[in-house]
């Protein structure tokens, strides 16, 4: 009998070692190395696997000689999902969907498979977490009745492969990768070795047979997909399904996409009948807005290719601590510190003794510099207790000297604001040329922060 070798694998990052160690040198976490027995088939595995068909060795070719054909895409009939995927599902692609427990991953994928099955595609939904009956209960709630949707509650990789061979589907959903296991690997389902091996088997299946495979991945407490980071490198696209538990809105975000842009988002609303697409996200982000208060302004931000109008709120209050608090949700708090320093130095606002709470309404995250002007205006508005005009929308990046810098794609932002009934847009002066503004919108160019504040803040004597 061959001697069995063992190795120790970090469950966080996949670092391998012959000896046990208390602290992983790869990710500096403690107690994450777990012993795994190496089997002979396991040794040849790993990221370096080739996906070419056996018996057809590939030769290097000149790029000009490679025939390119436009990849046909499978339309999911859910425009929000199509957009995040870069225009539809690419046959033979492997997509990883991650998200918090109970956020709606299974619901989204079941809805997607049911739509595809309705369009006469064969789809196989493999559930390792729920029995066929449980899946059927959900399907009833979502009113899924397609005949070519097959459900299979199985976790053994070999049996899953057999089922795929038998049914020959165009799309397979694995819910979730942490439950699937390969019998020749001794470690438990969900361990790094199992997750890596099963994902790489699905990768081979997808590439060699042209089947699109969606795998659900659990997330860790920190919010990243559980398992080795390598998992995200192996797949073609990584989507995160996120949202606040207390809100019904869910955002599907692409963080990696080999077939499209990564900053696209799709917005859904969780209803009893399943997920419903939100066609005009700006409306939901603005619906709870209180008019004519201080510390609030609407910015026109770009999410991927789409302009989205979002309200930013600030509350600046005198601090009772020597170290004032700076709390920001939905925006980078370093950016807030920088903008507060600009307001302090260039406009003489004494903000260092003030607590600052900044919030982006609706639970979205904004990370482009074009929202700087909005942030600075709502901070100044709350600090001075001057109100802003609810019909104003602002956009602009702020430099360290307090100058307003040019932003990209101004025309789309202003047109979106005009569509939603805003009457005045405060934009960088350098952005004023070369485009036509909507007729029902007053577009004003500003070149310094001071100018912008003078224009947007109105002094009002409080009536209390
Ligand atoms: N009867 C119902 N009415 C309305 N919403 C429901 C109903 N049943 C479930 N839901 C919603 O569906 C969500 C669960 O969705 P789903 O099972 O798809 O999540 P998941 O991300 O797959 O979870 P897990 O990580 O446990 O697999 C619940 O959190 C709830 O919001
Ligand atoms: Mg689920």
pLDDT along the chain (464 residues), means of 10: 76 83 86 75 46 62 78 87 91 92 91 91 93 91 90 93 94 92 85 88 92 90 71 90 78 88 83 86 76 88 83 93 90 94 94 93 84 96 92 94 94 89 93 90 94 87 56
CA 400 to CA 126: how far, in whole Å? Answer: 54
The superfamily CATH assigns to domain 73-279 is P-loop containing nucleotide triphosphate hydrolases (3.40.50.300)
Longest dimension (CA), the chain: 89
CA of 102 from ligand 2 middle (Å) equals 7
Q: From the CA of 99, which ligand is nearest?
A: 1
CA 95 to CA 312: how far, in whole Å? Answer: 33
Closest ligand 1 atom number to CA of residue 107 = 18
CA of 344 from ligand 2 middle (Å) equals 49
CA 184 to CA 194: how far, in whole Å? Answer: 10
Q: What is the DSSP string of 42-60?
A: HHT-STT---SPTT-----
**pLDDT attached to residue 464:** 56
Tokens (6 digits) for 148: 């070519």
Decide if 349 contacts 343 (C-beta within 8 A). yes
The residue to mutate among 96, 106, 219, 276, having the most atoms of ligand 1 within 8 angstroms of its beta carbon, is 106
Handedness of CA 9, 10, 16, 20 (dihedral sign): negative
CA of 82 from ligand 2 middle (Å) equals 21
Protein residue whose Cα sits closest to atom 1 of ligand 1: 272
Instruction: Show the CA angle centred on residue 423, arms to residues 422 and 427, nearest 5°.
Output: 90
Protein residue whose Cα sits closest to atom 28 of ligand 1: 102
Residue ranges per domain, the chain? Answer: 4-41, 73-279, 284-456
Closest ligand 1 atom number to CA of residue 109 = 18
**pLDDT attached to residue 459:** 72
CA 12 to CA 321: how far, in whole Å? Answer: 38
Protein residue whose Cα sits closest to atom 6 of ligand 1: 272
For tokens 């995927």, the residue is 85
CA 380 to CA 426: how far, in whole Å? Answer: 16
Protein residue whose Cα sits closest to atom 4 of ligand 1: 272
292 phi and psi, to 5 degrees? 65, 40
Instruction: Show the CA angle centred on residue 239, arms to residues 233 and 243, nearest 5°.
Output: 140
Decide if 117 contacts 123 (C-beta within 8 A). yes
Protein residue whose Cα sits closest to atom 10 of ligand 1: 272
CA distances from 42 to 6, 52, 183, 335, 347 (A): 11, 19, 11, 47, 65
| Equal CATH topology for 73-279 and 284-456 | no
Q: From the CA of 111, which ligand is nearest?
A: 1
CA 294 to CA 315: how far, in whole Å? Answer: 9
For tokens 């296991």, the residue is 181
CATH number, domain 284-456, options 3.30.230.10, 3.40.50.1970, 3.30.450.20, 2.40.128.120: 3.30.230.10
**pLDDT attached to residue 56:** 59
CA 322 to CA 341: how far, in whole Å? Answer: 17
CA 194 to CA 181: how far, in whole Å? Answer: 6
Cα dihedral 411, 416, 422, 425 in deg (nearest 10): -20
**pLDDT attached to residue 40:** 55
CA of 40 from ligand 1 middle (Å) equals 41
> What is the three-state SS of 311-326?
EEEEEEEECCCCCCCE
Tokens (6 digits) for 121: 């595609």
**pLDDT attached to residue 358:** 95
CA of 107 from ligand 1 middle (Å) equals 7
CA distances from 164 to 119, 212, 309, 360, 396 (A): 19, 12, 44, 45, 52
CA of 138 from ligand 1 middle (Å) equals 9
Q: Which residues line ligand 1 (CB under 6 A)?
A: 99, 101-107, 129, 141, 270, 272
Helix (H) or strand (E) holding 450: helix 449-456
CA of 105 from ligand 2 middle (Å) equals 6
Protein residue whose Cα sits closest to atom 5 of ligand 1: 272
Cα dihedral 230, 234, 237, 242 in deg (nearest 10): -30
């Amino acid at each position: 009998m061959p001697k069995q070798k063992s190795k120790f694998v970090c469950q966080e990052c996949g670092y391998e070692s012959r000896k046990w160690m208390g602290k992983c040198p790869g990710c500096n976490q403690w107690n994450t190395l777990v012993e795994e027995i190496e089997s002979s088939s396991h040794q040849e595995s790993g990221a370096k696997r080739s996906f070419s068909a056996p018996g057809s060795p590939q030769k290097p070719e000149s790029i000009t000689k490679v025939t390119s054909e436009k990849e046909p895409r499978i339309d999911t009939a859910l425009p929000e999902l199509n957009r995040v995927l870069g225009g539809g599902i690419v046959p033979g692609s492997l997509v990883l969907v991650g998200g918090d427990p109970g956020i709606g991953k299974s619901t989204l994928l079941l809805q997607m498979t049911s739509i595809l099955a309705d369009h006469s595609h064969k789809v196989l939904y493999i559930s390792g977490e729920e029995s066929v009956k449980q899946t059927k209960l959900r399907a009833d709630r979502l009113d899924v009745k397609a005949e070519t949707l097959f459900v299979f509650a199985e976790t053994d990789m070999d049996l899953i492969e057999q089922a795929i061979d038998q049914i020959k589907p165009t799309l397979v959903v694995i819910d979730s990768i942490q439950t699937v296991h390969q019998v020749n690997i001794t470690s438990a389902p969900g361990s790094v070795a199992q997750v890596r091996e099963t994902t790489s088997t699905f990768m081979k299946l997808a590439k060699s047979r042209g089947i699109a495979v969606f795998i659900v991945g659990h997330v860790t407490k920190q919010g990243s997909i559980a398992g080795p980071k390598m998992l995200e490198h192996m797949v073609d696209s990584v989507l995160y399904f996120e949202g606040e538990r207390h809100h019904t809105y869910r955002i599907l975000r692409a963080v990696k996409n080999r077939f499209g842009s990564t900053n696209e988002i799709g917005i859904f609303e969780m209803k009893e009948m399943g997920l419903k697409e939100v066609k005009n996200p700006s409306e939901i982000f603005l619906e709870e807005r209180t008019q004519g208060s201080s510390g609030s302004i609407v910015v026109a931000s770009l999410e991927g290719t789409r302009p989205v109008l979002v309200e930013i709120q600030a509350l600046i209050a005198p601090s009772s601590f020597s170290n004032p608090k700076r709390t920001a949700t939905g925006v980078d708090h370093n950016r807030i510190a920088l903008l507060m320093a600009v307001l302090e130095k260039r406009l003489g606002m004494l903000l260092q003794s003030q607590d600052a709470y900044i919030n982006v309404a609706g639970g979205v995250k904004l990370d482009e510099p074009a929202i700087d002007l909005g942030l600075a205006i709502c901070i100044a508005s709350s600090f001075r207790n001057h109100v802003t005009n609810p019909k104003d929308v602002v956009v602009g990046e702020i430099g360290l000297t307090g100058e307003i810098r040019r932003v990209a794609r101004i025309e789309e932002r202003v047109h979106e604001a005009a569509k939603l009934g805003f009457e005045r847009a405060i934009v960088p002066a350098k952005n004023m040329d070369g485009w036509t503004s909507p007729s029902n919108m007053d577009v004003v160019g500003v070149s310094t922060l001071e100018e912008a504040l003078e224009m947007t803040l109105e002094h009002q004597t409080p009536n209390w």
